[in-house]
A = this chain, B = another copy of it.
Amino acid sequence: MDLISWVYIAAGTGLVALLLALFFATRVLAAPAGSDRMQELSGAIREGSLAFLRREYTWAAGFVAIMAVLIFTLLDWGRPWGTVAYIFGAALSALAGYVGLRVATAANVRITEAVRQGGVHEALPLALRGGAVAGFSVAGLGLAGLALAYLLFHVWLEVNDAFQIISAIGLGVSSVALFACVGGGIFAKAADVGADLAGRREGGLSEDDRRNPAVIADNVGDNVGGVAGAGADLLESYLGSLVASVAYAAVVFGTTGLGARAIVFPLVVAAVGTAAAVIGSLLVRPRRAVIAAALYRGTYAAAVIAVLGVLGPCYWIFSDVEGVDHTLGLFFAVVAGIVIGLLIGRISAIFTSDRYRPVKEIARQSGTGPTLVVLAGLSDGMRSAAFSVLVVAGGIAGSYWAGDWAIPGDGGLYGVTVAAIGATSIFAVVASTGAFAPIADSAGGIAQMSHQPAEVIEATDSLAALGSTTAAAARGVAAGSAAVTTLALLLAWRGATNAASLAAGKGAVLDAIDILEPATFIGLLLGGVLPFLVAALSTKAVSRAAGQVIDEVRSQFGRIPGLREGRVEARPEYTRGVQIATGAALRGMLLPAVLAVAFPLAIGFVDVRALGGFLAGALVSGLLLGMSLVNSGGAWSNAKKLVEVGAYGGKGSDSHEAAVIGDTIGDPFKDSSGPALSVLIKVMAMVSLVFAGAFVG
């Protein structure tokens, strides 16, 4: 068997994942779609989601066009293939978001209908499959796309700089992800928080009450934020880790001998992980088990299969490289990555699931009012971030050691990049469980809006509660793996910069990036600043728009006669809420995108060492702040659910009021500001990697 066969296998595995997504999609679409009223509501949600996606993608396309021009004019390699690859990456990301959204907006109403007909156990497979479509299209598009790019540029076209061109794909994916994640997140949370607060203020409507004029916007938000936005984020981490590892290997080991193998290996690990995820997802038999346990089991099964499955290919590729055996060390590096992913997911689960002490403690504090709820949630978020980063640090140490053992010298850092792939290898499962939550949420919304009986609403609520725990773990894994991915990108960037400056006859300018050199240290401070700034901007965008939604709801209750009483002829103007959220999202996503590109470019052209400090500073502050926001939000969300099922006074009590305040504060944290940071740090590293040559040229 030839080395190149592995690339075909990777491409094939990606296609299998896509076929599985297609199969799940057809199964979902084949399910009955419920009454006319339900289909009308679901149609409104779908239309709204697609309309927003179109506008979001239009803006993103403008951004991509500008970047494409920059790439074409500033970079002297791979012309025009680098630009083509960049646009290809952007298209991949847009496609992944579109497919996931399309199926999710069809799945929601079918889940509601399934619950109506057969209860929660009838509906669960549908919800899982709806989520899996998003998950497997992310993994499939990423893997197949990159493997095809390898074949196209390196094998068929035999372009020089094939692996720099491949890194441009990563930047394309990142560019669209930034818009999808930040824009979708702001839309979702402006509508969610606005609908929730306005509903409560106007006579205690629930957020999904049909009379609430923001209710359609809220459900649209679940889909554009939770499905399209989160999917783009995961695809970015997935592709980012592959690009980093491939680029690092190509720069440091060259493209022949050990280098050729080191370049192919990342694709193989990703393929094994995706195959493991396919098997794992088929192993989950939710009908017969506690649901949450089944979901976790799927993840662990996939992880174990991935670990076992990667050993064979690893041996095949590395057991005899000019007489030297590198197998075990690199295998351990992959395992270190998988363990990092699982441990971070575990930490997130412990801090955000209602089965553990932190969330129980927050719920207990709700008896004293909102203050201690908020303080406890924030402090738990910071604690969980601290623990997660310790895990990341341990994983880096372990994978460096393993890589260095395998290939003394440059192998240590290659091990770190390989660990990043390990951490993202079973992302198909993670993305599936992540997309499960918004789909179930939206199904619950449709159940309420179409006035289903109490037991149907209760059953869809229980699905949503389940989703909110698994989503928290998925967000944690995404944020944690983003850190390793970003570090891998940094390493690739340093390699690319040194290679370019050596080629330009300037020596290796990044031989050492001295942290106490003033430029580097100032870079470090600036890098630390950016996540705080972006989190502030996106939180501000959400809270300002939520305020406008509240005003709008109030005004509609004032001017539409019979709306408050729920008369049938009194129809709220749902589109106003959608418009407000859309405006906020489009305005709010622009500045972060510009900052994410302008800062690294400007600093890179002034001083590449300062850029090293900048990227490291952004990584540290973005990772810690992002994880703590995400986990605080998850903890509050589940503490509220704990109170809602009856703890400390239950629904309608003062405790509930306090818990709801925590939950609404956490909404933008966990679904917009927090995830935005993990995209931010990856985009900035990706920009630096792609433009590395231009900075020193």
**Interface of A toward B, CB cutoff 8 Å:** 193, 197, 200-201, 365, 368-372, 374-376, 378-383, 385-386, 389-390, 392-393, 396-397, 400, 412-413, 416, 487, 490-491, 494, 510, 512-518, 520-522, 524-530, 532-533, 535-537, 539-540, 542-543, 546-547, 550, 612-613, 616-617, 620-621, 623-625, 628, 661, 664-665, 668
Contacts and interface: CB of A to CB of B under 8 A. Distances in A.
Contact of A624 (B372, B397, B621): B621
Given A380-B536, A382-B536, A396 B521 contact: yes
A195 to B, nearest CB: 12
B513 A397 contact: no
B516 A514 contact: no
A376 B546 CA distance: 11
A533 B382 contact: yes
Given A378-B539, A514-B512, A612-B515, A529 B389 contact: yes
Given A372-B546, A389-B528, A513-B516, 9 more contacts: A193-B371, A197-B371, A368-B547, A370-B661, A372-B543, A382-B533, A510-B516, A515-B515, A532-B624
Contact of A382 (B413, B535, B624): B535
Contacts of A491: 516
Nearest to A514: B512
Contacts of A620: 524-525, 527-528, 617, 620-621
Nearest to A618: B620
A371 B200 CA distance: 12
B375 A521 contact: no
A539 B624 CA distance: 17
Nearest to A196: B371
Nearest to A415: B518
B613 A515 contact: yes
15 contacts: A374-B374, A376-B540, A379-B537, A379-B539, A382-B539, A383-B540, A386-B529, A392-B525, A412-B518, A490-B516, A491-B516, A525-B623, A528-B621, A617-B620, A621-B621
A665 B193 CA distance: 20
Interface centre among A193, A381, A513, A537 (most CB of B within 10 A): A513
A518 B372 contact: no
A423 to B, nearest CB: 15
Contacts of A542: 375
Nearest to A400: B518
Nearest to A382: B536
Given A513-B516, A514-B514, A550-B368, A390 B529 contact: yes
A533 B388 CA distance: 11
A375 B190 CA distance: 12
A397 B522 contact: yes
A525 B369 contact: no
A660 to B, nearest CB: 8
The 10 closest A-B pairs by CB, nearest first: A382-B536, A379-B539, A528-B620, A375-B543, A512-B514, A383-B536, A512-B512, A386-B533, A371-B664, A379-B536
A608 B500 CA distance: 31
Contacts of A514: 512-515
A400 B521 CA distance: 12
Contacts of A201: 368-369
A616 B370 contact: no
Contacts of A535: 379, 382
Given A379-B543, A487-B521, A536 B386 contact: yes
Contacts of A521: 396, 487, 616
A454 to B, nearest CB: 28
A393 B201 CA distance: 45
A540 B379 contact: yes
A370 B370 contact: yes
A319 to B, nearest CB: 26
Contact of A518 (B197, B375, B413, B494): B413
Interface centre among A193, A368, A385, A400 (most CB of B within 10 A): A368
A314 to B, nearest CB: 22
A107 to B, nearest CB: 30
Contact of A516 (B380, B612, B661): B612
A617 B617 CA distance: 8
Nearest to A520: B515
Contacts of A543: 365, 371-372, 375-376, 379
Nearest to A664: B371
A542 B379 CA distance: 10
A515 B513 contact: yes
B197 A369 contact: yes
A357 B232 CA distance: 36
A197 B494 CA distance: 53
Contacts of A369: 197, 200-201, 661
A396 to B, nearest CB: 6
A41 to B, nearest CB: 27
Interface centre among A380, A396, A517, A620 (most CB of B within 10 A): A620
Contacts of A540: 375-376, 379, 383
Contacts of A392: 525
Contacts of A537: 379, 383
A391 B522 CA distance: 11
Contacts of A400: 518
A588 to B, nearest CB: 12
A532 B371 contact: no
Contact of A529 (B193, B612, B624, B664): B624
B518 A616 contact: no
A525 B397 CA distance: 11
B536 A516 contact: no
Contacts of A382: 532-533, 535-536, 539
